[in-house]
Amino acid sequence: MDYTINPTAFVSAFTVPCSVVDKHIKLAGAAQLKVLLWIMRNMADGICIEKISQALGLPEIDVKDALQYWIEAGIINSAGEKPEKARSEETKPEKAITVRKAPVKPSREEVAKRGLECPEIAFLLQEAQLKFGRGLRQNEASTLVWLYDDEGLSAALILMIIEYAISENKCNIGFIERTAIDWINSGIDSISAAEKKIRELNEQKSAWNIVRSAMGIEDRRPSPNELKLAYKWVVEYGFSREILAEAYNQCVDNTSKFSMPYIKKILEDWHKKNVKTLEDIKSLKKPAKADKKNNYAAYDLDLAQKMLLMDEGEDT
């Protein structure tokens, strides 16, 4: 079937710059295109963020982000600012002497350029928009392109990180960037390695839930160290809830408080002694033989407890 434009539609029309289609149709999100078309259609009314938000049913922050996109693209000028070319010429000397400590991420213009040059980046940005369920904001698109170009992550890996962030209910660019850097530092550079990492992270969460319930810990976000310890105790050591609860009880009985370093030492000791059941723990509590000459225990429990408490500071 052939398609044509109905000529009568041009009875009422407005102008859209060719560059919007030529350069931005693939990269601009739905919200950004809606905002621009509404502005072009209602130019006589001026640009009012609140009015655009109500007319399009978009949050004001998305309207502001869309405006920023078209300002940086050179389609819209903000009040009191000169056209894009003039601004870029004035800022060149300042950019030359600016020292950046943080990673330098691409500008909106550079993101658009890379999207046109590299099909994989265009695919990455399009898929990311679908996963986010909205158009990408400037810092989001810049970070994704930076991860691809500067940090060397493939589009598939970046999309996997986004999926993981969504599964954790943390679909924000800060969490995505931190996770990506952690994977890079861990040498994760393939899909299989990423899948293994995600399995490990999920196992850590499950192990933490077992530890938390066994020890009566409040429902809170665990630290990375706590996740690693929980994984070691539950997965590597194979300790049951009963064993974990007994370690907690001994910690509180001996110190009158909850101490993860203290529990760590108890469980490490039990693991070395091949403890598997509560009966194994009871067998470790047999009294030591007294020294016949001096009539005192062969080992000093109070001293051992003090040494553990002193070592706590080293593990925290």
Residue-wise pLDDT for 50-90, tens only, equals 899 888 888 887 788 788 878 877 888 876 544 444 344 34
pLDDT confidence band for 304 (50 / 70 / 90): low
Greater model confidence, 109 or 306: 109
Domain 14-86 and domain 105-189 have a common topology: yes
pLDDT confidence band for 4 (50 / 70 / 90): confident
Greater model confidence, 315 or 251: 251
pLDDT confidence band for 293 (50 / 70 / 90): very low
Residue-wise pLDDT for 121-166, tens only, equals 999 999 999 999 999 999 999 999 999 998 889 999 999 999 999 9
Percent of the chain's residues with pLDDT above 70: 81
Between CA 219 and CA 254 the distance in angstroms is 24
Instruction: Output the pLDDT for position 59.
Output: 83
- Domain spans, the chain: 14-86, 105-189, 216-315
For 65, the token pair is 């982000």
Between CA 62 and CA 49 the distance in angstroms is 10
For 246, the token pair is 């007994």
Tell me the mean pLDDT in the region 264-289. 83
CATH of region 14-86 = 1.10.10
Highest mean pLDDT among 94-108, 183-197, 300-314: 183-197
pLDDT confidence band for 38 (50 / 70 / 90): confident
Instruction: Output the pLDDT for position 11.
Output: 65
Is-contact 236 272, C-beta < 8 A?
Answer: no
- Give domain 105-189's CATH architecture: Orthogonal Bundle (1.10)
Examine the pLDDT at 306 and tell me if it is beyond 70.
no
Quickly tell me which residue has 């062969």 as its tokens. Answer: 298
The whole-chain average pLDDT of the chain stands at 80
Taking the CA atoms of residue 219, residue 222, residue 227 and residue 231 in that order, the dihedral angle to the nearest 10 degrees is -10
Examine the pLDDT at 295 and tell me if it is beyond 60.
no
pTM over 0.95: no
At position 186, the amino acid (one-letter code) is S
Give the number of other Cβ atoms within 10 Å of residue 109's Cβ.
14
* DSSP state string for the chain: ------GGGGGS-----HHHHHHHTTTS-HHHHHHHHHHHHTGGG---HHHHHHHHT--HHHHHHHHHHHHHTTSS--TT---HHHHHHHHHHHHHH---SS--PPPHHHHHHHHHH-HHHHHHHHHHHHHHTSPPPHHHHHHHHHHHHTS---HHHHHHHHHHHHHTT--SHHHHHHHHHHHHHTT--SHHHHHHHHHHHHHHHHHHHHHHHHHT--S-PPPHHHHHHHHIIIIIS---HHHHHHHHHHHHHHHSS--HHHHHHHHHHHHHTT--SHHHHHHHTPPPPB-TTT-SBSS-HHHHHHHHHHHHHHH-
